[in-house]
Amino acid sequence: MHVNHINRCHCLHSGYLARLVGRSRMTHNIMPPVVSGPPEFERTFRAHQNCVEFYPLFLVSLWTCGMFFSEVAAATAGLVYMVARQMYFNGYVTSAKKRLPGFILALVVLGILSLLGWIGVLSSNCADQPIKK
């Protein structure tokens, strides 16, 4: 399993979530650029927007962890992150209160990816530096 495969899967997942927003627009007869309407549509739209907002953080964390710490750890965490995002999306569409388990899991995974990435970056920088006397 490679980080680039997870990256591509996440792109497909993001497109899938965008399609669900489009389907909700059609169901509720809401034409772009309008972003308000029935609560079901607004929750679907907001769930997707939140996923989009976190996408850059996920990508940087995923690739940093994969390049400097472990590609296997990054790819595994990336899969868990996508599952968490789907849990978040499904929960949010149902009820705003049901979004929390997926959101919390996604934040934990994002934190782990970031931490492992930083550990990798710092250890690679330390390995390149000669010890000063």
Q: Are 36 and 42 in contact (CB under 8 A)?
A: yes
79 belongs to a structural domain: yes
133 belongs to a structural domain: no
For the stretch 17-47, pLDDT in tens is: 999 999 999 999 999 999 999 999 999 999 9
For the stretch 102-119, pLDDT in tens is: 999 999 999 999 999 999
- Which has the closest alpha carbon to 45: 68, 21, 12, 25? 21
Q: Are 64 and 120 in contact (CB under 8 A)?
A: yes
Average pLDDT over residues 73-96: 98
State the SS3 of 14-32.
HHHHHHHHHHHHHHHCCCC
The residues, ordered by sequence, that sit 6+ positions from 50 with a Cβ below 8 Å of its Cβ are: 88, 92, 103
56 belongs to a structural domain: yes
Amino acid letter at 61? S
14 belongs to a structural domain: yes
For the stretch 67-78, pLDDT in tens is: 999 999 999 999
89 belongs to a structural domain: yes
Cα 102 from Cα 82, distance rounded (Å): 10
Cα 89 from Cα 91, distance rounded (Å): 5
What is the tally of structural domains in the chain? 1
Q: How confident is the model at residue 132 (pLDDT cuts 50, 70, 90)?
A: low
The model scores a pTM over 0.85 = yes
Enclosing domain of residue 24: 3-123
Cα 4 from Cα 120, distance rounded (Å): 18
119 belongs to a structural domain: yes
24 belongs to a structural domain: yes
Mean of per-residue pLDDT scores for the chain? 95
102 belongs to a structural domain: yes
CATH number at residue 15: 1.20.120.550
